[in-house]
Amino acid sequence: MVRSTRRTVIALALVALAVTASVTPPESVRAADARQLSFYHTHTRLSLDVVYFANGEYVESALNEINRFLKDFRTGEVTEINPELLDLLHAVRNELGPEATFEVISAYRSSQTNELLRTTTSGVAKNSQHVRGNAIDVRLRGVRTKKLRDAAMRLHGGGVGFYEKSDFVHMDTGPVRFW
């Protein structure tokens, strides 16, 4: 008797789970999962405010806008920015200032630009995550860069570099490491 009762309870629980999973959540719940980012590019002086994730999925048109905005500003070359990088930025910003704007110093770099920077600047990696669309160098308006660095490090989402003299933080989706 106990065995059949247990089976009945499990069967009812599975049915309830299936029904719950198939019901579309109310608009207020779906809107709560929206992920939005604001950017200001320090070199192009352009701004972008965009919801890149909504209703449980990435918004393709918004990702395309971000790809164009974070292009190699020296060559104009565009690549696909890793959505995990956007999620990392979103998580950091939610911790520090949900309405704050990221000031972009560098995002995607073409191989040509990366090589140019390697020959003229110190600290540029040969196999930079920037070339893959996996990295960004930023400040967050109204937040000290040390605080930005610390928040990024706590998330363990990838590499975090702190450039105190230049006043920016590098974040990428590569292996977790700090410098």
54 secondary structure, DSSP code: E
Across 157-170, average pLDDT? 97
Q: Tell whether the model's pLDDT for residue 23 goes beyond 60.
A: no
Residue with tokens 């704007």: 101
Q: Tell whether the model's pLDDT for residue 162 goes beyond 50.
A: yes
Q: Tell whether the model's pLDDT for residue 158 goes beyond 90.
A: yes
Whether the pTM exceeds 0.95: the reply is no
The pLDDT confidence band at residue 140, using thresholds 50, 70 and 90, is: very high
Tell me whether residue 74 is exposed, middle or buried, using C-beta atoms within 10 angstroms of its C-beta: 0 to 12, 13 to 18, 19 or more: middle
Rounded Cα distance, 12 and 3, in Å: 14
CATH class for domain 35-178? alpha beta
